[in-house]
């Protein structure tokens, strides 16, 4: 084997990296355990607020040193640990859609034009069954309703300064699309800030490309209603006058006196030093340093006094009294602030009535949104004192902003140009006139994004905001200012809530199925391949270790479908070793020595392994790009598993095999046991002769499935594909699903409602289409209220999880699923045609895949007819694409052997070559299928109800995949190929590794 040293070196490096990243997870768990211990009282009750306070206190503290090379803070550990998905940890998954309807209406000045309103209504109806851009649907509808009207007549107004009555329809459409895209970007930034301030560990928020949707995952959330209000609340943009530090500093002397009295009375608890430090030179002028951690309150007061040049006198704080004030507050270049980890304590302090009484009634404190980072990595938030008006409201709000754009100043520096409407211009002129030389805070959702100094009175409503902005910061601030320009409401189109107890149950089921599947595969491999099986098992353990380690390096979360992908990879990764060992056994049977057989076995098996892995990888890539949520998690694990299994089976196992066969050890290395030595010998099964019987059997089964679908009224679609809401409810005792359904029918107004046992006799899954078309928060509350009313007679019931998919979202998921399957077929067809240089091979392979998909759908329909109901959902689509990958994997291995026999027997007819080729791979086909079946059966039995449909599909798919390779794919190649030998030769050369 060439490059053996490099393979060993790479294996060691990857192993160390995996250990490095997985150690973060262990350290994180230890810190969280320490926090739980700290927050547990004598009775064993955990104070969650106390636990979170402990974690906040060590957030920036080094908690881990890796091999003496680098200290890692708890924050860095959390960012690099292997997280758990919502289905394992519990939490909330939400997909929000920014409504383009309100944006278009606002751009048109909320006109009451009949044609305009009809076009909007018609476009909304069309969008239910279309993935086309809403703006294009609106334009098409408007053209049908008012064919002679111009869009400029609707949109040329003071709110859209880039448009005029002379603008073409295409120019208007471009401006509308730009505004919609900007609205999505604004919503994304606002939501990201809100979530960051919400206090959720490892939140995930991403904008879905090519859509108006934003996907959010919040692990550990236990208050869904609060989250809904947080995500769907309208952005609140305000402009506030700012108090100078010399004006509010004296009140902090009074606050210090209060803190001293509280401490002396032993009433103040939980304060801690914030560890003030010196700011980086880039963040502050050289003559403005933070107060030291010694608690010098005189320095604090002096810094506050120096922050402005107004000349007001500030009383010094008594350094002999207490350093409590300096522990919570820190002077910053622009004023006053606190360490990020102390902001919760400051908020709690200001919430006290006696503390609020120390400050003027028109003084209100707001935090800056962006932290200032010190030299040692500590982060500080600036605290702004803003001046409330007589009614307690801001003097100017965002509704008066007509436009805001990022631009460049005369010196080439990024700046923001802001324009007010007529009413706003007057208010802005008055506000700037009253605050020349002072700051005006730009506040969104009660956080200060910028506080520029007013240079002079601004009339006309046009202003420029300059400062040390980067381009991104200037663009973000422009988007924030535009948040108040026009409404861009968001609606929840998909939602899933998983309770923590259900997540823990999923972890237990996932681990149990994983360990059981692994144990069965390990035992079988040793029983069948002796020492060769031990080598395969070592490679398998390396494979699993690498999968988990790579997931940790990428910062991915482990999900229940991800565990399923890992369990499946256990079975599929054995395939490469089976191919290799069967080849080695063939070469040993032909009389070669052990070293020669090993070399030739690995070389000849490489082409099949490479091709089969690439085709499976195609399915994984398509899953990743078109899937979402759990499907994407499955795809990530599957793709990583394919890469690591290829590396471990082809390279790591070969190093072990060659090491064990070196020198005197060659004769002791065996690839068979007395039990398996004579298996699959002298097989001469006439597969081609039975192909017509197979055609008839497959056709009959698929027809039976179609009949079952008709009788059942279609397949059992989950909410993913038909829209609606689903709830998993636990009851204290076993309960009849039919009784619960009867009680719910009246509450759900006769809408389609399905109730079935879900994994346990006291657990039900309730799915309803009641108000499925209404995706509003009010509809969510109405449906849940109806559910609770229908269940009120069952005392002690508890909703463990819930999910919602809007009608539009369900339609998109259906189309995405169909596109995924079609693309998988197309990609595989092209690759197989390229590798084997004959379209007949592609036709046979893809025909077998279509056959497998139809058989699985038929099996689901027949099972439903027999009373065993499995839902068709997104995870089911993951199983279909996995079956496609697995089936083509098997088919390519057989095709590769046919190609090899074709070259070795140039005088034989193609039809005479196929049967021997199929029989020669029969042992590999059966053994690989058996290992996959072992894993899938375990997954079906122990994987839990959530994966029941997935594992049933894989169970049927693994069987039909092997069957279709032998009786569908290869016979079709034969039936569509000329019998003459000259017409069937392949020009593609096999890939050889030495």
Q: Note the pLDDT of residue 99.
A: 80
Q: Would you call 872 helix, strand, or coil by DSSP? A: strand
Please return the burial class of 450, using the count of CB atoms within 10 Å of its CB with bins 0-12, 13-18 and 19+: buried
The SS3 assignment for 25 reads: helix
Residue-level pLDDT at 851: 93
Residue 71 CA, chain-centre distance (Å), reads 29
The per-residue pLDDT for range 81-114, each reduced to its tens digit, is 777 777 677 778 888 888 888 888 888 877 788 8
> pLDDT tens, 623-640?
787 766 667 777 788 888
Rounded to an integer, the average pLDDT of 245-249 is 85
First vs last Cα of the chain: how many Å apart?
A: 6
Which position has the token pair 């038909």? 722
Mapping DSSP to helix (H, G, I), strand (E, B) and coil, where does residue 226 land? helix
Flag whether pLDDT at 807 surpasses 70. no
Contacts of residue 266, Cβ cutoff 8 Å, sequence gap at least 6: none
DSSP code at position 967: I
Contact yes or no for 858/704 (Cβ under 8 A):
yes
Q: What is the pLDDT of residues 6-18, one digit of tens each?
A: 888 888 888 888 8
Residue 994 has pLDDT above 60, yes or no: no
Element (H, E) at 218: strand 213-219
Residue entry with tokens 């995952």: 217
Question: What is residue 775's three-state secondary structure?
Answer: coil
pTM, 2 dp? 0.66
Q: How many angstroms separate the CA atoms of 585 and 579, rounded? A: 10
Tell me how far apart the alpha carbons of residues 469 and 415 are, in angstroms, rounded to a whole number: 7
Residue 241 has a pLDDT of 93
Confidence band (pLDDT; 50, 70, 90) for 275?
very low
pLDDT confidence bin for 665, thresholds 50/70/90: low
Sort strands 363-368 and 447-450 into parallel, antiparallel or unpaired.
parallel
Going by C-alpha positions, the residue among 994, 837, 832 that lies closest to residue 902 is: 837
List Cβ neighbours of 37 (8 Å cut-off, separation of 6 or more).
none
880-926 tens-digit pLDDT: 877 887 788 778 888 888 888 887 777 777 777 888 888 877 777 78
- Quick count: other Cβ atoms within 10 Å of Cβ 375? 12
Contact status, residue 333 vs residue 468, Cβ threshold 8 Å: no
Give the tens place of pLDDT for each residue, 383-408: 999 998 777 888 888 888 888 888 88
All structural domains of the chain with their residue ranges: 4-81, 95-234+490-495, 239-387, 395-482, 499-670+687-708+812-983, 724-805
724-805: CATH topology: Alpha-Beta Plaits (3.30.70)
Is residue 680 within 8 Å of 918, Cβ to Cβ? no
249-265 burial: b if 16+ Cβ within 10 Å, else e = bbebbebbbbbbebeee
How far apart, in whole angstroms, are the C-alpha atoms of residue 177 and residue 171? Answer: 10
Top-ranked range on mean pLDDT: pick from 80-84, 183-187, 730-734: 730-734
Backbone angles phi, psi at 888, to 5 degrees: -70, -30
Q: In a 10 Å sphere around its CB, with 0-12 CB exposed, 13-18 middle and 19+ buried, how is residue 655 labelled?
A: middle
Highest mean pLDDT, choosing among 727-741, 762-776, 876-890 = 727-741
Identify whether the C-beta of residue 406 lies closer than 8 Å to the C-beta of residue 416.
yes
State the CB neighbour count (10 A cutoff) for residue 206. 13
Residues forming beta bridges with residue 365, ordered by sequence position: 385
pLDDT tens-digit map of 366-389: 998 888 887 777 788 899 999 987
**DSSP H helical ranges for 866-944:** 874-904, 910-920, 922-942
Distances (CA, A) of 152 to 136, 155, 156, 159, 807: 16, 5, 5, 13, 33
How many other CB atoms are there within 10 angstroms of residue 79's CB atom? Answer: 14
Give CA–CA dist 960/705, Å, rounded: 15
Element (H, E) at 958: helix 948-964
Find out whether 551 and 637 touch, Cβ atoms under 8 Å. Answer: yes
> Is it the case that residue 745 has pLDDT exceeding 90?
no
Q: Which residue has the higher pLDDT, 481 or 334?
A: 481
- Domain 395-482: state its class: alpha beta
Q: Confirm if 575 and 928 have CB atoms less than 8 A apart.
A: yes
* Mean of the per-residue pLDDT values of the chain: 78
CA dist 920 and 915 (Å) reads 9
Lowest-confidence region among 436-450, 526-540, 577-591: 577-591
- What is the CA angle 962-968-972, rounded to 5? 145
Contact 567, 513 (CB under 8 A): yes
Res. 699 pLDDT band, cuts 50 70 90: very high
- Choice among 135-149, 281-295, 866-880 with the minimum mean pLDDT: 281-295
696, two tokens = 């008839």
- Count how many residues are written for the chain: 994
Q: Residue 223 in contact with residue 500, Cβ under 8 Å?
A: no
Report the pLDDT value the prediction gives residue 129, as an integer from 0 to 100. Answer: 65
Contact 813, 747 (CB under 8 A): no
Is residue 303 over pLDDT 50? no
User: Is 659 a residue whose pLDDT tops 50?
Assistant: yes
CA dist list (Å): 126 to 378, 553, 811: 53, 44, 12
Confidence of residue 309 (pLDDT cuts 50, 70, 90): very low
**How many percent of the chain have pLDDT more than 90?**
7
CA 947 from centre of chain: 19
**Pairwise CA distance, residues 836 & 847, whole Å:** 16
* 3-state SS, residue 801: strand
């Amino acid at each position: 084997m060439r490059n053996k040293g490099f393979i060993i070196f790479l294996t060691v490096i990857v192993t160390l990296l995996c250990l490095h990243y997985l150690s973060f997870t262990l350290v994180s768990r230890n810190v969280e355990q320490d926090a739980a211990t700290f927050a547990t009282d004598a009775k064993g009750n955990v104070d969650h607020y106390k636990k979170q306070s402990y974690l906040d206190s060590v957030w920036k503290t080094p908690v881990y040193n890796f091999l003496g090379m680098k200290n890692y803070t708890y924050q860095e550990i959390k960012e690099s640990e292997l997280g758990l998905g919502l289905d394992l940890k519990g939490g909330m998954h939400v997909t929000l859609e920014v409504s383009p309807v309100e944006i278009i209406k606002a751009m048109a000045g909320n006109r009451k034009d009949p044609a305009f309103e009809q076009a909007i209504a018609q476009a909304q109806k069309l969008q239910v069954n279309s993935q086309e851009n809403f703006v294009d649907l609106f334009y098409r509808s408007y053209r049908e309703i008012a064919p002679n009207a111009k869009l400029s007549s609707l949109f040329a107004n003071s709110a859209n300064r880039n448009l005029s009555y002379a603008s073409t329809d295409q120019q208007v459409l471009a401006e509308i699309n730009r505004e919609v895209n900007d609205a999505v970007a604004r919503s994304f930034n606002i939501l990201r800030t809100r979530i960051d301030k919400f206090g959720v560990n490892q939140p995930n928020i991403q904008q879905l490309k090519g859509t108006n949707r934003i996907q959010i995952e919040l692990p550990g959330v236990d208050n869904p209603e609060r989250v809904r209000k947080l995500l769907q609340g309208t952005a609140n943009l305000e402009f506030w006058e700012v108090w100078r530090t010399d004006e509010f500093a004296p009140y902090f002397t009074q606050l210090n006196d209060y803190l001293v009295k509280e401490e002396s009375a032993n009433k103040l608890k939980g304060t801690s030093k914030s560890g003030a430090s010196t700011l980086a030179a880039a963040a502050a002028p050289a003559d403005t340093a933070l107060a030291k951690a010694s608690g010098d309150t005189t320095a604090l007061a002096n810094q506050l006094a120096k922050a402005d040049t107004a000349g007001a006198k500030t009383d010094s704080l008594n350094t002999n009294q207490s350093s409590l004030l300096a522990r919570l507050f820190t002077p910053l270049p622009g004023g006053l602030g606190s360490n990020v980890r102390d902001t919760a304590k400051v908020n709690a302090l200001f919430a006290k009535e006696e503390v609020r009484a120390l400050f003027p009634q028109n003084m209100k404190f707001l935090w800056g949104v962006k932290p200032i980072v010190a030299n040692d990595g500590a982060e500080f938030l600036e605290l702004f004192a803003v001046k409330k008006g007589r009614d307690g409201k801001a003097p100017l709000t965002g509704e008066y902003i007509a436009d805001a754009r990022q631009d460049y100043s005369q010196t080439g520096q990024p700046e923001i140009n802001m324009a007010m409407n007529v009413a706003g211009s007057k208010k802005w002129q008055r506000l700037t006139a009253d605050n020349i030389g002072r700051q005006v805070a730009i506040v969104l959702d009660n956080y200060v994004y910028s506080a520029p100094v007013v240079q002079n009175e601004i009339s006309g409503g046009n202003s420029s905001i300059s400062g040390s902005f980067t381009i991104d910061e200037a663009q973000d601030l422009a988007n924030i200012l535009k948040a108040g320009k026009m409404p861009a409401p968001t609606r929840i189109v998909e939602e899933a809530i998983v309770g923590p107890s259900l997540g823990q149950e999923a972890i237990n089921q996932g681990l149990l199925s994983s360990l059981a599947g692994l144990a069965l595969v390990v035992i079988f491999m040793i029983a069948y391949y002796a020492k060769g099986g031990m080598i395969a098992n070592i490679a398998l353990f390396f494979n699993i270790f690498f999968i988990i380690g790579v997931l940790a390096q990428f910062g991915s979360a482990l999900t229940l479908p991800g565990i399923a992908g890992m369990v499946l990879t256990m079975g599929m990764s054995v395939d490469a070793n089976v191919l290799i060992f069967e080849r080695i056994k063939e070469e040993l049977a032909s009389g070669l020595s052990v070293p020669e057989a090993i070399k030739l076995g690995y070389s000849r098996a490489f082409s099949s392994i490479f091709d089969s892995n690439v085709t499976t990888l195609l399915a994984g890539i398509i899953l990743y790009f078109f899937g979402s949520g759990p499907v994407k998690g499955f795809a990530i694990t599957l793709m990583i598993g394919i890469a690591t299994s290829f590396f471990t089976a082809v390279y790591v196992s070969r190093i072990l095999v060659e090491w064990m066969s070196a020198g005197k050890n060659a004769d002791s290395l065996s690839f068979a046991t007395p039990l398996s030595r004579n298996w699959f010998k002298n097989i001469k099964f006439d597969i081609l002769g039975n192909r017509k019987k197979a055609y008839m059997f497959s056709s009959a089964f698929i027809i039976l499935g179609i009949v079952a679908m008709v009788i059942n009224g279609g397949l059992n679609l989950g909410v993913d594909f038909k829209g609606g809401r689903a709830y998993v409810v636990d009851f204290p005792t076993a309960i009849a699903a039919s009784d619960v359904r009867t009680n719910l029918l009246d509450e759900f107004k006769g809408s389609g409602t399905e109730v079935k046992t879900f994994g346990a006799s006291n657990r039900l899954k309730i799915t309803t289409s009641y108000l499925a078309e209404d995706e509003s928060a009010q509809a969510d509350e109405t449906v849940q209220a109806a559910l609770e009313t229908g269940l009120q007679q069952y005392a002690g019931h508890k909703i463990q999880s819930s999910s919602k998919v809007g009608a539009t979202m369900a339609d998109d998921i259906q189309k995405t699923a169909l596109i995924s399957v079609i693309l998988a077929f197309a990609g595989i067809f092209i690759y197989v045609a390229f590798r084997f240089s004959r379209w007949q091979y592609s036709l046979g392979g893809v025909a077998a895949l279509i056959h497998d998909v139809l058989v699985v759908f038929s099996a689901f329909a027949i099972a439903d007819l027999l009373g065993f109901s499995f839902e068709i959902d997104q995870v089911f689509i993951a199983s279909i694409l996995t079956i496609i990958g697995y089936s083509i994997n098997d088919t390519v291995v057989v095709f590769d052997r046919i190609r090899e026999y074709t070259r070795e027997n140039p005088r034989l007819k193609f039809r005479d070559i196929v049967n021997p080729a199929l029989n020669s791979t029969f042992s590999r086909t059966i053994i690989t299928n058996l290992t996959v079946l072992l894993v899938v059966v375990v997954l079906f039995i122990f994987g839990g109800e959530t994966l029941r449909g997935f594992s049933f599909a894989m169970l049927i798919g693994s069987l039909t995949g092997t069957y279709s390779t032998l009786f569908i794919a290869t016979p079709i190649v034969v039936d569509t190929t000329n019998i003459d030998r000259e017409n069937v030769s392949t020009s593609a050369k096999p890939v050889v590794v030495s």
